[in-house]
């Protein structure tokens, strides 16, 4: 079979790239090793009667430009914003975050009037950073070592935007991009619980602690999303995260695209430095002059490409690329809604993200454990019961909890991720939750434990890193994934990358896929109009 383009991997980025290419009139095929599309954004059955978001679990970062251009609402996507969240401390107190500004202000004042004012300054500062970075998400990062007109003009575009911020904001931007989340928040807040609540967004998915420089930027990575035009808002996709990729698949098929699930890639066919197609693990050979890989950079080039086809320097860069998964997950089917001793009955914030923390130092200590190759003795958890908002995902009256756990190492210093250790890991998390929700344990109907190793094995995220590679500066912008190859092209002509290991990185954002499609189409001489604002 001969196609114009083949996309390897039906994750949200592969699907996004495929949609744009099919819309441009290319005869496009997606190949996927699993029996279903979606990658890390899928809804599966947790146990009979329960549907759950199997890996990624909240929606916010998906670019509105992509939602519009691919007509995802028409294809069934519905995002429900969530209203808040809370952190409970060990002394029985709580701080609730609410998306309603007045309610939030009252809650902040309850803890500290100074923090209420600090929050105003803080949210303005972060919003300015979001506005600065947003247009960069859907642009290809310039290569600063290149003298090509396009790279120079792109570099000048960024410098000009930077300069237009004005002296004060320029300084703030440099600080924001390089500071630790702890120090950043210390500038605005005094209440440990409030800082701890916000700091979580600076470390989720990373191999850094809140005291590490560079984590303030990661905060941005979780904040630059929007739901219905509300910047920084989070939401649930009705029916779970799979409904995003299902909508993408329908949009793709509506544009004439073809999807083959059930067999993965064996290898790329490369001749004379050019890609000619792919061989699947079932032996099928499929041909195309353009192949786009949604897999991470290590899988694409180390596992599925003959090293002899690649320059040494590139191979070295790929091998050096860091994943270092740091997150685990528990998915739990519940017989009913658990109660929380620290919260007023039926508090609305229970529908949001819940955390059990005293201060940022507790998160930092959790990180220290991970550095030593242990799961955190007192982990940071991001706990959600999405069935309160979308009851369709569980039998009537029943619920499910998604518990994201930071930190868990990919490899344990002592022993393996065998069943005993996996159970011990889950027990650490459950007993921490139980201290705040005494009936939680007895409501458990079924639990799924996922260590970084499981995330790698089951979802295909190398070393269990949810971003397809760390979000540190040496792996951002023009450095992602490898300096000199940050523009979605690879050393092999016709072979492109579109996964989260390319700029701007992970999260269910779709930007890497859209950017890769733009580069592919531009190389093929197509007009580049994807309905996106600059």
Residue 2 is a binding residue for other proteins (CB under 8 A): no
Residue 174 is a binding residue for other proteins (CB under 8 A): yes
| Helix, strand, coil tally for the chain in percent (to 5) | 40, 20, 40
Burial of 350 (0-12, 13-18, 19+ CB in 10 A): buried
Which is nearer to other proteins, 74 or 371 (by Cβ)?
A: 371
Contact 293, 495 (CB under 8 A): yes
Which is nearer to other proteins, 81 or 491 (by Cβ)?
A: 491
Minimum CB separation of residue 365 from other proteins in Å reads 8
Residue 178 is a binding residue for other proteins (CB under 8 A): yes
Q: Tell me which stretch binds other proteins (CB under 8 A): 5-13, 139-147, 329-337, 419-427.
A: 139-147
Which is nearer to other proteins, 119 or 340 (by Cβ)?
A: 119
Query: Which residues neighbour 30 within 8 Å (Cβ) at sequence distance 6 or greater?
Result: 6, 7, 8, 9, 10, 14, 15, 18, 37, 252, 257, 258, 259, 260
Site for other proteins in 351-410 (CB under 8 A): 361, 364-365, 368, 371
Q: Tell me which stretch binds other proteins (CB under 8 A): 14-22, 143-151, 250-258, 290-298.
A: 143-151
Pairwise CA distance, residues 388 & 233, whole Å: 18
Q: Tell me which stretch binds other proteins (CB under 8 A): 8-16, 67-75, 141-149, 500-508.
A: 141-149
Query: Which residues neighbour 383 within 8 Å (Cβ) at sequence distance 6 or greater?
Result: 353, 354, 355, 356, 401, 402, 403, 404, 433
DSSP string computed for 187-232:
TT---HHHHHHHHHHHHTTSS--TTSTTHHHHHHHHHS-EETTEET
Minimum CB separation of residue 376 from other proteins in Å reads 14
Tallying the residues shown for the chain, one arrives at 534
Q: Tell me which stretch binds other proteins (CB under 8 A): 169-177, 460-468, 494-502, 518-526.
A: 169-177
Which is nearer to other proteins, 179 or 248 (by Cβ)?
A: 179
**Single residue of 54, 140, 251, 472 touching other proteins by CB under 8 A:** 472
Does 390 sit behind a cis peptide bond, omega within 30 degrees of 0 on the bond before it? no
Residue 183 is a binding residue for other proteins (CB under 8 A): yes
Q: How far is CA 532 from the centre of its chain?
A: 21
Pairwise CA distance, residues 462 & 464, whole Å: 5
Q: Tell me which stretch binds other proteins (CB under 8 A): 40-48, 344-352, 390-398, 471-479.
A: 471-479
Residue 135 is a binding residue for other proteins (CB under 8 A): no
| Beta pairing class for 258-261 and 399-406 | unpaired
Minimum CB separation of residue 528 from other proteins in Å reads 26
Largest CA distance in the chain: 68
Residue 171 is a binding residue for other proteins (CB under 8 A): yes
Which is nearer to other proteins, 267 or 316 (by Cβ)?
A: 316
Residue 534 is a binding residue for other proteins (CB under 8 A): no
Query: Which residues neighbour 397 within 8 Å (Cβ) at sequence distance 6 or greater?
Result: 336
Pairwise CA distance, residues 221 & 204, whole Å: 10
Pairwise CA distance, residues 285 & 231, whole Å: 45
Residue 115 is a binding residue for other proteins (CB under 8 A): no
Minimum CB separation of residue 408 from other proteins in Å reads 18
Minimum CB separation of residue 170 from other proteins in Å reads 5
DSSP string computed for 325-346:
--EEEEEEEESS----TTS-TT
Contact 77, 243 (CB under 8 A): yes
Minimum CB separation of residue 215 from other proteins in Å reads 9
Minimum CB separation of residue 255 from other proteins in Å reads 37
Minimum CB separation of residue 29 from other proteins in Å reads 34
The continuous run of DSSP H or E covering 156 comes out as: helix 149-164
Which is nearer to other proteins, 363 or 455 (by Cβ)?
A: 363
Site for other proteins in 281-340 (CB under 8 A): 313, 320, 322
Residues forming beta bridges with residue 235, ordered by sequence position: 59, 81
Contact string (CB under 8 A) for other proteins, positions 186-225, x = contact? xx--------------------x--xxxx-----------
Q: Tell me which stretch binds other proteins (CB under 8 A): 74-82, 174-182, 298-306, 434-442.
A: 174-182
Contact 154, 140 (CB under 8 A): yes
Which is nearer to other proteins, 109 or 477 (by Cβ)?
A: 477
Minimum CB separation of residue 361 from other proteins in Å reads 6
Which residues of the chain form contacts with other proteins (CB under 8 A)? 143-145, 163, 166-168, 170-172, 174-175, 178-179, 183, 186-187, 208, 211-214, 313, 320, 322, 361, 364-365, 368, 371, 472-474, 478-479, 483-484
């Amino acid at each position: 079979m001969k196609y114009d383009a083949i996309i390897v991997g039906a994750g949200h980025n592969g699907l996004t790239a495929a949609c744009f290419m099919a819309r441009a009139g290319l005869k496009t095929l997606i190949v996927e090793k699993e029996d279903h599309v979606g990658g890390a954004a899928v809804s599966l059955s947790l146990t009979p009667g329960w549907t759950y978001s199997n890996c990624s679990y909240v929606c916010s970062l998906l670019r509105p430009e992509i939602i519009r251009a691919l007509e995802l609402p028409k294809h069934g996507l519905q995002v429900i914003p969530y209203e808040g969240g809370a952190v409970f401390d060990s002394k029985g107190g709580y701080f609730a975050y609410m998306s309603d500004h007045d309610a939030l202000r009252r809650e902040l004042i309850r803890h500290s009037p100074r923090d209420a004012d600090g929050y105003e300054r803080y949210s303005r500062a972060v919003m300015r950073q979001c506005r600065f970075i947003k247009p960069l998400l859907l642009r290809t990062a310039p290569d600063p070592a290149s003298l090509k007109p396009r790279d120079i003009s792109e570099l000048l575009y960024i410098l000009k935007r930077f300069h237009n911020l004005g002296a004060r904001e320029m300084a703030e931007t440099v600080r924001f991009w390089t500071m630790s989340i702890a120090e950043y928040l210390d500038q605005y807040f005094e209440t440990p619980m409030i800082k701890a609540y916000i700091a979580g967004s600076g470390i989720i998915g990373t191999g850094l602690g809140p005291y590490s420089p560079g984590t303030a930027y990661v905060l941005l990575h979780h904040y630059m999303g929007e739901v219905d035009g509300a910047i920084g808002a989070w939401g649930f996709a009705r029916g779970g995260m799979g409904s995003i990729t299902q909508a993408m698949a329908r949009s793709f098929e509506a544009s004439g695209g073809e999807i083959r699930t059930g067999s993965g890639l064996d290898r790329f066919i490369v001749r004379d430095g050019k890609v000619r197609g792919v061989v699947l693990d079932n032996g099928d050979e499929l041909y195309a002059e353009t192949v786009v890989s949604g897999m991470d950079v290590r899988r694409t080039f180390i596992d599925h490409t003959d090293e002899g086809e690649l320059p040494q320097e590139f191979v070295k860069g790929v091998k050096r690329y860091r994943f270092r998964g740091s997150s685990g997950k528990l998915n739990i089917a519940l017989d009913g809604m658990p109660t929380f001793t620290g919260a007023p009955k039926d508090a609305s914030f229970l529908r949001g993200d819940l955390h059990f923390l005293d201060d940022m130092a507790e998160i930092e200590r959790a990180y220290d454990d991970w550095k030593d190759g242990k799961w955190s003795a007192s982990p940071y958890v991001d706990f959600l019961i999405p069935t309160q908002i979308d009851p369709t995902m569980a039998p009537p009256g029943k619920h499910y909890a998604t518990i994201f756990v930071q930190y868990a190492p990919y490899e344990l210093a002592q022993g393996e991720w065998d069943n005993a250790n996996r159970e011990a890991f889950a027990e650490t998390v459950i007993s921490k939750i139980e201290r705040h929700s005494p009936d939680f344990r007895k409501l458990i109907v079924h639990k799924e434990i996922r260590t970084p190793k499981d995330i790698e094995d089951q979802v295909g995220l190398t070393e269990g890193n949810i971003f397809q590679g760390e979000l540190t500066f040496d792996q951002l912008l023009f450095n992602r994934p490898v300096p000199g190859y940050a523009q979605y092209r690879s050393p092999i002509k016709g072979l492109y990358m579109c996964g989260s290991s390319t700029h701007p990185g992970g999260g269910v954002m779709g930007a890497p896929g859209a950017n890769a499609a733009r580069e592919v189409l531009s190389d093929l001489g197509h007009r580049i109009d994807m309905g996106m604002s600059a």
